[in-house]
Chains A and B, each alone.
Chain A
């Protein structure tokens, strides 16, 4: 059974999450402080952690850092939709994703499943990824759409590779820029914008109704197409 550690200081939220996650077949442990969270993550080795950033005792980012020192358990951060900087800090500290409060259970479960799936498939690099009519052959660096080859520049391909490498995961601007352009480019968000737009155009994705790349303004991008 998959174990989920819920960290939130609000008993009502813990109760609602326990009920809902339990109904979906997860085993739930719920704690209310950062200290308990770190302890529980170490002793019980959960498969996933849902962490509220506004804890009474520890700063959420510190909890992430401490957990990351001994575990690579997927961490999804829960926070009120307010400061993008806090979210970016949490993601940079090692969180896998964030969900804004108040959230719909449906959305949370989708993110939770995506994070668990990424973890399950983390060790086996797939040579070819398929997303509906789009195929990305990572070994041969070949991209096809409806069977037709898509011509991408080196940078466009590098960006695509970074995005599809972690489907469903929210990748911050800084992370993507460092990965694709190199360490000196972490602030050049407009590069990303230009290349994301180019990728979308070549891959037939629309900004108004995205199927492949979802924008999180001020934070980063997320590859939303499900592989398979």
Chain B
């Protein structure tokens, strides 16, 4: 629903002046000859009317021309002797002279008034159009839309066949085209401000018409407004870039310190355990030795998980997190992760609810990592012997996986934030795990979110879209077991 900006042309076209100047007296003459008035007064009135009509329709010049032509026609056709420019009667001389003076004055005054009015209307509409352009250019709307709307308003206002804007600022370029770019001679207007030139505006009038001087001025003003919009966009982008850069470097610093911390913690445990084992001055009991060795084992697993997540994070940052997609059965990935993590999951009670699901186009290694991260968090926040539920089920055109624990839960206001890398300090690297998980799920065209679990706790779910919908067997399989 574009606003309408139709502008009357500021100047009446020459063709219209000529046609009106000839047509108005010609019609009056025709009527006069048809009616054959008894007295000259009738013919005189007809021609006076023609003068007013010409002035109203085509302005002052037409009014004056119609006066002169009317005077000649009256003289030739209606004063005796007929069909000559001689005037026999003295009364006729007075009448004709009066007609000429009155007609000239009327044509001049009416024509000027009409022209003034047209100009005023146009000026007002021009002002409105430029005001619209100014508001648009500073509106903060997307550049493409601003430029497109302005091109549309110009097409409407100037009754153009088409209008095209080609401009670029920085590494942004924008092209907008409204209407058809064929017709009369195209008018090229540079989009520039001060020294800088950003592109050009091309206005194509209708076939046979050309862009008038008034219209050209208006196009130039509009082009300046587009330049303003471009500069604003470029400034906005610079500000946003600067802000983003600041945030990035802040995040990088936080990430760096957190990664260092998270890497050192397991290393410290490993080193402490191994040096204890290597001590020669104390004899450790066999179960103490086993404890220390188990510490080493658990901490190397933790390091391995952490390194996996850091690697993925590096891929995310480099924009290189591209899933190696293949037809993947999510329930099989769940099964495999539970099997691999059996030792780690021994301190909780794991229940799986697996319904028949179609295969999804996914990278099984990355989905494995998401599940590992979610289960890792669930175990970490679960009370001893707490229940962790893993469910896999079809959901519309996706497969939904949910991992539910009965830990302390995440308050609603933090449920978005926990997916940001290191948003909540380092809870054993879980912040990183969720951030990576989200990146992976998004790379698969899915989504991931947190809800509260019924009866307290956290339910993290993610959806993976199904590429090819296989027939879904709705037989529900509920398997229960200690993993």
Q: What is the interface of chain A, defined by CB distance below 8 A to chain B? A: 81-85, 102, 104, 187, 189-190, 193, 206-210, 214-218
Contacts and interface: CB of A to CB of B under 8 A. Distances in A.
B470 A190 contact: yes
A218 B365 contact: yes
Which 8 A-B pairs rank lowest in CB-CB distance, beginning with the nearest?
Answer: A218-B364, A217-B364, A217-B333, A215-B332, A208-B481, A208-B479, A207-B335, A209-B481
Q: Which of B326, B331, B481 has the most CB of A within 10 A?
A: B326
A208 B352 contact: yes
B354 interface: yes
A109 to B, nearest CB: 15
Nearest to B354: A207
A218 B367 CA distance: 11
| Interface residues of A, dominant DSSP | loop
A218 B328 contact: yes
A207 B365 contact: no
Contacts of B6: none
29 contacts: A81-B365, A82-B365, A102-B304, A187-B327, A190-B327, A190-B329, A190-B358, A190-B470, A193-B332, A206-B479, A207-B354, A207-B479, A208-B335, A208-B338, A208-B480, A208-B481, A209-B482, A209-B483, A210-B339, A214-B336, A215-B335, A216-B336, A217-B328, A217-B332, A217-B333, A217-B336, A217-B364, A217-B368, A218-B326
B365 A210 contact: no
B359 interface: yes
Q: Which of A187, A190, A208, A216 has the most CB of B within 10 A?
A: A208
Contact of A102 (B300, B328, B333, B336): B300
A47 B327 CA distance: 36
Contacts of B284: none
Q: Which of A102, A104, A210, A215 has the most CB of B within 10 A?
A: A215
Given A83-B365, A84-B365, A193-B329, 17 more contacts: A81-B365, A189-B327, A190-B329, A190-B358, A190-B359, A193-B359, A207-B331, A207-B352, A207-B354, A208-B480, A208-B481, A209-B481, A215-B332, A216-B336, A217-B336, A217-B364, A217-B368
Interface in B295-326: 297, 300, 304, 308, 324, 326
A206 to B, nearest CB: 6
A82 B483 CA distance: 24
Nearest to A88: B326
Contacts of B359: 189-190, 193
A25 to B, nearest CB: 22
Q: Which of A83, A189, A214 has the most CB of B within 10 A?
A: A189
A83 B315 CA distance: 14
Nearest to A193: B329
